[in-house]
Amino acid sequence: MPIVSTLRWENQTLVLLDQTKLPAEEVYLVCCDYRTVADAIRRLVVRGAPAIGVAAAFGVVLGAVEAVRQRLDPPSALERVFSVLAGTRPTAVNLFWALDRMRKVAEAQQGETSERLVAALEAEALRLYQEDIEANRRLSEHGAALLADGMTVLTICNAGALATVAHGTALGVIRAAVRTGKRIRVVACETRPLLQGARLTTWELMKEGIPATLITDNMAGYVMQQGRVQAVLTGADRIAANGDVVNKIGTYTLAVLAQAHGIPFYVAAPRSTMDLTLADGQSIPIEERTADEITTFGGRRVAPNGVQVYNPAFDLTPARLVTAIVTEAGLLRPEQGRFKLREEGAV
Ligand code: MRU
């Protein structure tokens, strides 16, 4: 039994654990149409690169069901569905990867009955769902070898079961190591501004009894200086062919700090997070979110009205700072500061 049910497909609806409400409330949002799915992705009801991709795939199924019900021409109705879902968040490539897979299935069904179209799309979304579980399980087992008994691992954001269909990537690796009997402790950066570390990662780890200590983001350097962590392990939203990693804002800072303190910096991500169309990470779009995420805290305003704000949700960690990338195909290490993801059969 999974410890959390991030998303599930039930009676032709997508049921999402509302992550904006955690940890105070465990409530579910039932999405009966693709617009609700798109809005949920935008608002971070469902979040984390793999989870966004799978949620969008079910959004396409809901869009197809609606088109058939309203007797619309499926190809043109689906165009709108794809464009609304693709417009939700720009950074995690899993979203576009999943939509591409769904688009190929829709194209292959052209000329078939609408029932067949819907059935084929539903089958593909369920395949994506299962593949995500399997990929995370496999990469977790590969990554567990990196963690020694007694280690404390620092992480940022939430790259756990909540960010995937199940298991998680970075937290999946930690879970797998714990399952083999290793005593692993986690230091979770709170992850300003939306507190995925404080709200989600600690919640998820505490449910399983994995020791987790919460720190604010600006404590990471001091914690490393004191020798309190032996590895940094994060997820990713998009990885370019040379191993440049885009992940939650603050990840780059941790990678620089890890190098300065001689601590390994690991990234765990499935193939669906790799974008081999990009030679490096420079052109990965970085989502900028609204100012109120920074100017308010817990619903209270904490900055003067009219203050200028810059709120990038992600940053770019150059491949030269990454010690290894953990994928379902195994552990990848750089050569002279670059990964060769195309050649290494990682995707
Ligand atoms: O803005 P979020 O919460 O969607 O950002 C999530 C992250 O940055 C995760 O680290 C990443 O998606 C990997 S999740 C396995």
Instruction: Provide the CATH topology of domain 7-137.
Output: Four Helix Bundle (Hemerythrin (Met), subunit A) (1.20.120)
Contact 91, 238 (CB under 8 A): yes
User: Tens digit of pLDDT per residue, the chain (347 long)?
Assistant: 567 899 999 999 999 999 999 999 999 999 999 999 999 999 999 999 999 999 999 999 999 999 999 999 888 999 999 999 999 999 999 999 999 999 999 999 998 999 999 999 999 999 999 999 999 999 999 999 999 999 999 999 999 999 999 999 999 999 999 999 999 999 999 999 999 999 999 999 999 999 999 999 999 999 999 999 999 999 999 999 999 999 999 999 999 999 999 999 999 999 999 999 999 999 999 999 999 999 999 899 999 999 999 999 999 999 999 999 999 999 999 999 899 998 866 55
Of the candidates 237, 244, 275, 315, the residue annotated as catalytic is: 237
CB 236 within 8 A of CB 267: yes
Nearest CA to ligand 1 atom 15: 159
Is domain 146-332 annotated with CATH 3.40.50.620?
no
d(CA 149, CA 127): 35
CA 190 to ligand 1 center in whole angstroms: 13
The pLDDT value given to residue 347: 56
**Is 33 part of the annotated catalytic residue set?**
no
So what's the pLDDT on residue 342?
85
Helix 93-108 × helix 74-86 angle, to 10°: 170
The domains of the chain are located at 7-137, 146-332
Ligand 1 centroid from CA 44, angstroms: 10
Residue list, ligand 1 pocket, CB within 6 Å: 44, 47-50, 92, 157, 159, 163-164, 169, 196, 234-237, 247-248, 313
Nearest CA to ligand 1 atom 6: 48
Distance 109 CA to ligand 1 centre (A): 33
- pLDDT on residue 154: 99
pLDDT, position 345: 62
Burial of 149 (0-12, 13-18, 19+ CB in 10 A): exposed
Phi, psi dihedrals of residue 58, rounded to the nearest 5°: -70, -30
State the closest ligand 1 atom to the C-alpha of 269, by its place in the atom list counted from 1.
Answer: 15
State the distance from the centre of ligand 1 to the C-alpha of 291, rounded, in angstroms: 19
Best of 16, 169, 190, 247 for a ligand 1 pocket test (most atoms within 8 Å of beta carbon)? 247
For the CA of 248, the nearest atom of ligand 1: 8
- Residue 283 CA to residue 139 CA, distance in Å, equals 27
Which ligand 1 atom minimizes the distance to the CA of 157?
10
Ligand 1 centroid, distance to 175 Cα (angstroms) = 18
Q: Give pTM, 2 decimals.
A: 0.97
CA 287 – ligand 1 centroid, Å: 12
At 133 the pLDDT is 97
Q: Which residue, judged by its Cα, is nearest atom 10 of ligand 1?
A: 235
Which of 273, 277, 186, 208 is closest to 238 using CA atoms?
273
Which of 196, 203, 232 has most ligand 1 atoms within 8 Å of its beta carbon, as the pocket-test mutant? 196
Q: Which of 200, 248, 253 to mutate to test the pocket of ligand 1 (most atoms within 8 A of CB)?
A: 248
